[in-house]
Structure 1
Amino acid sequence: MRLSLVPALSSLLPLVYSATPPTVEIRNGTILGVLNTTRSVEKFLGIPYAEPPVGTLRLAQSIPLKSPFGTLNASAYGPACYNSLNVGNPSEDCLTLNIWRPAGETSSNASLPVLVWLYGGGLVAGYAADPKFEGTNLTANSAAVGKPIIIVTLNYRLGPFGFLNGKEMAELGLLNLGMLDQRRAFHWIQENIGAFGGDPKKVTLAGESAGAVSIYSHMMAYGGRDDALFHGAILESGGAFPLTGPDTPAFQASFNALITNTTCASTLNGTAAEKLDCIRGLDVPTLRASVGKSTGQSIDGDFTRTSLINALHSGAYAHIPTIVGTNTDEGTTSAPTNVSTLSDLLGPVSDGYFRPRKLPNTTASTLISKYSTNPRLGCPYNTGETRFSGGALDKMACSIFGDIVQIAPARMIAHVLTRSGVPVWRYRFNQLPPGGEMTGKGIGTAVEQQYVFSNVVNATAWDGNVAFQMGALWASFAHDMDPNGVVAEVGLPKWPTYGKDANSIVLSGFGSSIEQDTYRGDAIQYIIDKVLPDGAA
């Protein structure tokens, strides 16, 4: 059954726009947006929040936007930041954000809560203009359930432009630039969102995968310092990877490649500043082709001082209400395939995923022993004997990697935050998306995003149902710091906090329910106790 029109699927409606654009005045100028009269939503796209990070500002911390832009036509997205998939018309001049608000909100009514979305992609991919994150439907649906919010999405630098490491970058204090871009955008929101009708004191951060990792990195930033930039968090499928310093061999090799593989070889014996000046002069294709593959978040001693597991256990993080969740079949995006024997599995498990060093063989072997070789018990779950790739133990591998990368971290975060007295809500997303080409991936990492924003392609009635419900929950949380303000209206059971019973909601278009977050308990606890801490600085 296919539906052409339900509230959650209203992206299928023709877009009707007003001839007179909505206008907002901020310090830098006048912003002209677009009104969607069908959904009664105003959007403002491609707003710069920092000076362009080009020329001498390449590989520098982003700085506030100083230049006035006069009148800005905010009817189209800005370019994506350079990314590994080369999507979104990428450019270095990419530090822009996008805003959606229910129509009619003005600066005289600066009271709406704000939901800020950070895309995932392993800190090498992703862009704010991804159609999955188009905010019209979520904004309209939030108003429809009486929890109106403003949506903000933003670009941040990726790969070598945002997360280049090496001892030189450390010496110059230029690490984790992409996350500092996010931080710069948060400050812009504090200064300007009131002009759009938003309340800067009611900002919730939401993100998926690397977006979720970014959020908890802000929660523990500067040793857990509270800069009052946000007061709630939604973590979708985030990992908890051990972090290292910036001068590990792989990180250093990536930086060194920019020197030895380019005209910057003349600075080989020069200072860090001389090397960086040369790198800033390279053209973009040369820089991208020459840099090594290893980039990412590192411990910088300032913004990022330790790995998540250490910050949590020391209490050095922002204690704020949090939603933390995962999808049923997380491992389909991270697990190796063509695994036929247990010995084939030992190496990949020991190597891990985004790990700075191998797990001891005894740890890897013990972990493997806690999982069944029976494909009926493997991932994608609930698929019986069916295999979706060549290896006899691929479904076992998928179970292990999904638990290591996403599910054990989510359970750990929920437990620790709950013990600290923070209200936590846990979810498991359990809706298989439409489209047969994705069946082999099951309910894998990232599929929930299109449901949060009610942008499901080829949606069935069941997809539309859970999409509307999920967006309503997120809006209620952002609005009131409690998702339960809409459950009766949208047909969901009350969503209890995690608590000592490890309560979790299972979100499905065929009927959502409450479960205890205890499945695969022995294996996941072993990951929390022995795998996640290993190598965590």
Structure 2
Amino acid sequence: MLLELAAVLGLSTLCAALASPGAPSPEGPIVDLGYVKLLGHRSEGVDFFGGIRYVQPPLGNLRFRAPVMLDEKTRAQTVTDARNWGDICIQQPASLDLGSEDCLTLNVWTPPHAKEGDKLRVALYIHGGGNYYAVRVASRPTVHIVRADFYQSAQGFPMNTWVTGSGGSIVAVNIQYRLGLLGFLAAKDVMENGSVNNGLLDQRAAIAWVKRHISKFGGDPNQITLAGESAGGADLIWQMIAYGGQQKPDFQGIIAQSIGTDPTPTEAQYESCYANVTAATNCTLSTGADTLACLRAAPLSAIVDAVNTKPSTCKFLPVIDGDLIQDLPSTMLREGRFSKVNFVGGHCTDDGSIFVGDPATFTNTTDGFVSAIKKRYTMLSNATVQRMIDLYPESEFGSQWERAEQAFGDTVFTCQDWYIADKLYKAGQKHAYNYRFNTPDPVQLAQFPWKKVMHTSDLFFLFQGTNSGPYPGVASHFAPFNGTEQALATETIGYWTSFARAFDPSTFRARGAPAWPDMTHGRLVIQEGRSFIEQRTAKYIERCNFWNEVGDEIRV
């Protein structure tokens, strides 16, 4: 492993990567935020500052509460080593050996010598992973990662190539936030004696920290673009509808990739899951206050046990709380209750494939088609099921599996991006763009050809050959690019960073890449070879409108 790292980084860089965190070397960039001075790591034309706390650790009495700001009024007397990542957050399945509650950190990549006053645009990435479950990623040594075999975390999505791909014209950030039970435990008791949707609140706190401090890294605090995929993309939409769109957000743009909103738990569902947690931790007490006090005092091992013994029907996810989240996204979008930010939204061609499973074991009947959709969306009425059958006629598909794959993708992944862009454009936001990503992750494709251009394919090209694994148990690593893969990675990163720089993906696009028009002129198909513009069909729009109309039944 060390020889491999030395070959990639060079011996001097490797030594810096392995330097003792207890005694920071003066070599390396230093950023002074006033309350803390950060020592970073310079490699391959990018400065990296990692493991930066953005709020107080959510431990003890702060467990199951909204994030609390750090004391930023003090003056730092010493330099803090920020040359590596912070601990990742506790996942699901959970383990005491991997992850920590003290995980609320972020990472910053800047061009070398970036300084206050440069006002570089900011791109901030929020990782996916269902907001709760474990997805393996491997570490990438070229961006100062030494350990391997990480679960879903900021470490799986290094952003140094976004900085270099922009010609040093952006500052890049990615963040960690509380996941699963620790981030999204919900119940009346929690609402009255703490807070719910803490994972989303963590994200907002991280964005607010960036707004306060990114100028010291050379960034522009008033030009922040968020990006995220799957649950990360869904979280961008939760942030977009936060507080009914009545509070001015700390971000100005969104790049939402394969928006993966899980069905929002009902009150009955999240109360049942809460009861399971209190029973598993022996915290079923007479009052809500006593129960929450018990949960906060419980050892982490008890929390881990509660995560690992929960019923399969329990998912700890964002819920409607009447404040931060006032209603389902479909309702909020339909009623115009969202922030009118600059927007890019898109999906992978076959986003639905992994969710309906291997076609070799699929029941090739209409009942099998319906069952595949109802497995996730359990509240569909008979009338909605019949309408779905009519909108996806068997005659249009080669198999019931293909029928299910298409319908499943349309429920949210492949439709909500158009719906949001359309709503924004009609509300006066002309910087609204759509895309379809049409080249598969080659690593996953080689192992599972039936997945085609599967969910997470775009991540392979945006993050240096990462294979984040679209669901638990899928091993992953960073794979080297061949020539055509590198060309597509350059093109895709060029579009993303151009949007961050100008709220227009065409302005600073890679040389030779086609111009990307706004959503009223079609959507860009991004692929190896030659990307092109396509028009949406009337059938696609009809299906997308249908799924939004039944948002109360699919709970998105």
Shorter-normalised TM range: 0.7 to 0.9
Q: After superposition, what is the alpha-carbon deviation per residue over 1:276-305, rounded to whole angstroms, capped at 9, x for unaligned?
A: 000112122222322533311111111111
Shift of 1:128: 6.9
User: Does 1:313 find its partner at 2:334?
Assistant: yes
The CA deviation string for residues 446-468 of structure 1, in whole angstroms up to 9 with x for no partner, is 12123123445232211111110
| Structure 2 residue matching 1:534: 3-state secondary structure | helix
Identity of aligned residues (%): 28
Give the stretch that moved more between structures: 280-289 or 61-70.
61-70
Instruction: Name the counterpart of 1:284.
Output: 300
Q: Distance in 1 between matches of 2:459 and 2:554?
A: 31
The answer to whether residue 244 in structure 2 is matched with residue 223 in structure 1 is yes
Equivalence for 1:341: 365
2:48 to 28, 43, 49: 43
Q: Does 1:214 align with 2:224?
A: no
C-alpha distance in 1 between matches for 2:538 and 2:512:
26
Task: Report the counterpart of residue 4 of structure 2 in structure 1.
Answer: none
CA shift, 1:75, in A, is 1.3
Alignment of 1:409-488 (within 5 A): 409-422=416-429, 423-435=431-443, 436-455=446-465, 457-487=479-509
Q: Residue 347 of structure 2 contacts residue 414 of structure 2 at CA under 8 Å; is this kept in 1?
A: yes
Aligned twin of 1:77: 85
State whether residues 127 and 153 of structure 2, in contact with CA within 8 Å, keep that contact through their aligned partners in structure 1: no
Indicate the SS of the match to 2:367: helix
Structure 2 counterpart of 1:504: 523
Task: State which drifts further: 196-205 or 310-319.
Answer: 310-319
Runs of 4+ aligned structure 1 residues displaced above 6 Å come to: none
CA offset at residue 197 of structure 1?
A: 0.8
Shift in alpha-carbon separation, 1:159–1:317, aligned structure 2, 3 A? same
Gaps of 5+ in 1: 1-11, 379-391
Question: In the superposition, relative to structure 1, how do residues 523 and 339 fare at CA in structure 2: closer, same or farther (>3 Å)?
Answer: farther
Q: Which residue of 1 aligns with 2:472?
A: none
RMSD, aligned α-carbons: 2.5
Distance 1:520 1:413 in 2: 18
Distance change in 2, residues 1:132/1:244 (3 Å):
closer
After superposition, give the CA deviation of every residue in 1:419-455 in whole Å (9 maximum; x if it has no partner).
1121211000011222311433221111212312344
Within 2, Cα distance between the matches of 1:237 and 1:300? 25
CA deviation map 1:156-212 (0-9, x unaligned): 001110000122112235110000001111111111111111110011111011111
CA contact under 8 A between 2:50 and 2:107: conserved in structure 1? Answer: yes
Aligned to 1:334, what secondary structure does the other structure show? helix
Tell me which residue corresponds to 1:52: 57
Correspondences of 1:494-533 after superposition (within 5 Å):
494-499=515-520, 501=521, 503-518=522-537, 520-521=539-540, 524-525=543-544, 527-533=546-552
Instruction: Report if the CA contact (8 A) 1:339-1:397 is conserved.
Output: no
SS in 1 for 2:320: coil
Task: Report SS of the residue matched to 1:171.
Answer: helix
> Are 1:166 and 1:255, in contact at CA under 8 Å, matched by a contact in 2?
yes
Helix, strand or coil: the match of 1:279? Answer: helix
Question: In the alignment, is the contact (CA less than 8 A) between 2:92 and 2:132 conserved in 1?
Answer: yes
- Aligned residues of 1:242 and 1:532 also touching (Cα < 8 A): no
Partner deviation per Cα, 1:303-357 (whole Å, 9 max, x = no partner):
1111112212222111111000000010022225522211223234235x3x4x5
User: Given the superposition, is the C-alpha separation of residues 439 and 520 from structure 1 closer, same or farther in structure 2, using an over 3 Å criterion?
Assistant: farther
Answer whether contact 1:433 1:463 (CA < 8 A) is retained: no
CA distance in 2, matches of 1:120, 1:398: 21
| 1:398 counterpart (378, 401, 405) | 405
Maintained 8 Å contact 2:351/2:453: yes
Specify whether residues 211 and 309 from structure 1 end up closer, same or farther in structure 2 by C-alpha distance, changes over 3 A only.
Answer: same
* Offset at residue 129 of structure 1 (A): 4.7
Runs of 5+ consecutive residues of structure 2 not aligned to the other structure: 1-6, 17-24, 136-150, 467-478
The Cα shift of 1:372 comes to 4.8
Give the conservation status (yes or no) of the 8 Å contact 2:229–2:259: yes
Size of the aligned set, in residue pairs, is: 496
Does the 8 Å CA contact 1:264/1:275 hold for their aligned counterparts? yes
- Which letter maps to 1:55? G
